[in-house]
């Protein structure tokens, strides 16, 4: 894809990042083609069409994901990059049937409740018992036979809550989802199989005043089985030395939607960054990863990092993660718990104020960070409060996460920031 405009990317020395050279100015990369809103939109539209043609989803284990991987690989080859595919084994979750009733009212799946991926199967009937956030064994001390614990979403991962409830003898677990949007309940995951009891998210709106003693029933019929998908890896054929700078983001959506902000926005950004950088970066080679099965447990990035030997890991001098970079009520941020030097590079590339968020283990950067590779990332928000107290992305993990859900102005700036940062890092690690 050719462009007529050019973006001159100046590179400055960033203190605190491994560059050597003291205060010596670094070389400036060649001008690179500009990233445009139209071209980003073409990728978003393509991913939306793929979802539309495959039941409204691009989730791992579906034809929608396979078509997404084919699309990305073709665009990167067109950009002159070397492309490979890496097989990844993961555990596929298939939900066949589910029902939830609270206080005699039968709830609607997706709109009022969701089954967490890797939930166990079974049926439970009884009365609700409020059990705090469910993160500690003592939260379930007052649980009696026939009661179904109701826990807050906050405090710890869903899996920790479910495991504690199961150990306490619960036959099911209900998690109060505080998002009160009429659009529905976001998808969620227990990350890996192993929980034997049904675990469901129920919206606060649907729960209403339900609490201790409210009659409830939960039924889940689901299976977890082995599956196979592919990461898409692309690298510049040109570049000096044996050092690598990387960026990546997950390519899969949740099962309940097309995932155009989460994370088609990251995929579009990476494709356009590849075209802007071209096949011959100014210094170190640049490598991009489009990770599979992030939404069900970071399988793709974990497999990729595990596949690297110690020497290959040392070659990777930086990893920038892109997960949700076009939120409609965006608050642009970088990872405050990431590498400070990379954070400075991103701020300089952005050219304005970037907030900070603690990313924790929430996305694919965690796989690299655990291996000792410097990481940071860009993020514009999911269900956290944004301007006006409204969610940054009211369609987070919902079927309405379509092309209409993406803030194209914000995405354009995030994409240009990514390309500038990668060029800066490539020049530095020549």
* Domains defined for the chain, CATH in brackets: 28-81+236-428 (3.40.630.10), 93-225 (3.50.30.30)
User: In this model, does residue 127 exceed pLDDT 60?
Assistant: yes
pLDDT band, very low/low/confident/very high, at 53 (cuts 50, 70, 90): very high
Among residues 39, 272, 294, 333, which one is catalytic? 294
Q: What is the predicted pLDDT for the residue at 240?
A: 86
User: In this model, does residue 169 exceed pLDDT 70?
Assistant: yes
Top-confidence residue, 190 or 17: 190
Q: What is the predicted pLDDT for the residue at 191?
A: 86
User: In this model, does residue 328 exceed pLDDT 90?
Assistant: yes
User: In this model, does residue 7 exceed pLDDT 80?
Assistant: no
Q: What is the predicted pLDDT for the residue at 304?
A: 98
Top-confidence residue, 317 or 297: 317
Q: Examine the residue annotation and report whether 294 is marked as an active-site residue of this protein.
A: yes
- What are the tokens at 403? 């092309």
pLDDT band, very low/low/confident/very high, at 23 (cuts 50, 70, 90): very low
pLDDT band, very low/low/confident/very high, at 430 (cuts 50, 70, 90): confident
d(CA 97, CA 105): 18
Q: What is the predicted pLDDT for the residue at 241?
A: 76
**Is-contact 317 374, C-beta < 8 A?**
yes
How many angstroms from the chain centroid is the CA of residue 356? Answer: 17
String of DSSP letters for 167-194? HTT-S-EEEEE----TT-PPP-B-SSS-
Give this prediction's pTM.
Answer: 0.84
Q: What is the predicted pLDDT for the residue at 181?
A: 63
Averaged pLDDT of the chain: 91
- What are the tokens at 17? 């990042």
Bond from prior residue into 362 cis (ω within 30 degrees of 0): no
User: In this model, does residue 2 exceed pLDDT 70?
Assistant: no
**What is the arithmetic mean of pLDDT over 49-76?**
97
User: In this model, does residue 245 exceed pLDDT 90?
Assistant: yes
Q: What is the predicted pLDDT for the residue at 115?
A: 97
Q: H or E stretch including 418?
A: helix 408-428
pLDDT above 90 covers what percent of the chain?
87
Q: What is the predicted pLDDT for the residue at 1?
A: 40
- Range of lowest pLDDT (18-27, 263-272, 339-348): 18-27
User: In this model, does residue 6 exceed pLDDT 80?
Assistant: no
- Range of lowest pLDDT (23-32, 73-82, 87-96): 23-32
Q: What is the predicted pLDDT for the residue at 34?
A: 82
Q: Which of 396, 363, 367 is CA-nearest to residue 378? A: 363
Q: What is the predicted pLDDT for the residue at 180?
A: 60
For residues 329-357, one letter each, b for 16 or more C-beta atoms within 10 angstroms of the residue's C-beta and e for the rest, the string is bbbbbbbeebbebbbbbbbbbbeeebeeb
d(CA 306, CA 242): 20
Q: What is the predicted pLDDT for the residue at 59?
A: 96
Q: What is the CA radius of gyration of the chain?
A: 22
Top-confidence residue, 173 or 26: 173
- Write the CA distances from 418 to 226, 299, 379, integer angstroms: 35, 24, 11
Q: What is the predicted pLDDT for the residue at 183?
A: 81
What pLDDT, in 10s, does the model give residues 358-408? Answer: 999 999 999 999 999 999 999 999 999 999 999 999 999 999 999 999 999
């Amino acid at each position: 894809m050719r462009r007529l405009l050019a973006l001159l990317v100046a590179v400055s020395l960033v203190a605190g990042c491994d560059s050597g050279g003291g205060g010596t100015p670094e070389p400036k990369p060649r001008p690179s083609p500009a990233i445009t809103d139209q071209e980003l939109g073409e990728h978003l539209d393509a991913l939306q069409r793929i979802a539309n043609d495959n039941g409204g989803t691009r989730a791992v284990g579906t034809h929608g994901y396979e078509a997404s991987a084919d699309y990305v690989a073709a665009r990167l080859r067109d950009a002159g990059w070397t492309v490979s595919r890496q097989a990844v084994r993961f555990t596929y979750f298939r939900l066949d049937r589910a029902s939830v009733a609270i206080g005699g009212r039968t709830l609607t799946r997706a709109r009022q409740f969701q089954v967490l991926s890797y939930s166990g199967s079974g049926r439970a009937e009884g009365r609700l018992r409020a059990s705090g956030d469910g993160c500690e064994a003592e939260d379930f001390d007052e649980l009696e036979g026939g009661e179904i614990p109701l826990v807050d979403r906050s405090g710890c991962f869903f899996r920790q809550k479910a495991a504690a409830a199961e150990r306490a003898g619960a036959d099911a677990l209900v998690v109060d989802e505080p998002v009160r949007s009429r659009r529905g309940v976001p998808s969620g995951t227990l990350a890996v199989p192993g929980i034997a009891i049904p675990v469901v998210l129920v919206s606060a709106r649907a729960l209403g005043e339900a609490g201790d003693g409210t009659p409830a029933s939960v039924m889940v019929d689901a299976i977890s089985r082995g599956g196979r998908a592919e990461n898409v890896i692309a690298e510049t054929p040109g570049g000096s030395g044996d050092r690598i700078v990387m960026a990546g983001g997950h390519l899969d959506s949740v099962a309940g939607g097309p995932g155009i902000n989460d994370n088609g926005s990251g995929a579009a950004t990476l494709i356009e960054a590849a075209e802007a950088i071209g096949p011959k970066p100014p210094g170190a080679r640049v490598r991009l990863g489009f990770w599979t099965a992030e939404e069900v447990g970071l399988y793709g990035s974990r497999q990729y990092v595990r596949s690297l030997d110690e020497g290959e890991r040392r070659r990777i001098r930086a990893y920038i993660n892109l997960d949700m970079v076009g939120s409609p009520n965006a608050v642009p941020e970088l990872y405050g718990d990431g590498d400070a030097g990379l954070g400075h590079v991103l701020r300089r590339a952005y050219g304005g104020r970037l907030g900070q968020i603690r990313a924790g283990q929430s996305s694919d950067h965690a796989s690299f960070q655990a291996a000792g590779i410097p990481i940071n990332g860009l993020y514009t928000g999911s269900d956290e409060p944004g301007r006006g107290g409204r969610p940054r992305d009211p369609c987070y993990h919902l079927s309405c996460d379509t092309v209409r859900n993406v803030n194209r102005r914000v995405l354009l700036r995030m994409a240009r920031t990514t390309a500038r940062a990668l060029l800066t890092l490539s020049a530095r690690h020549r």
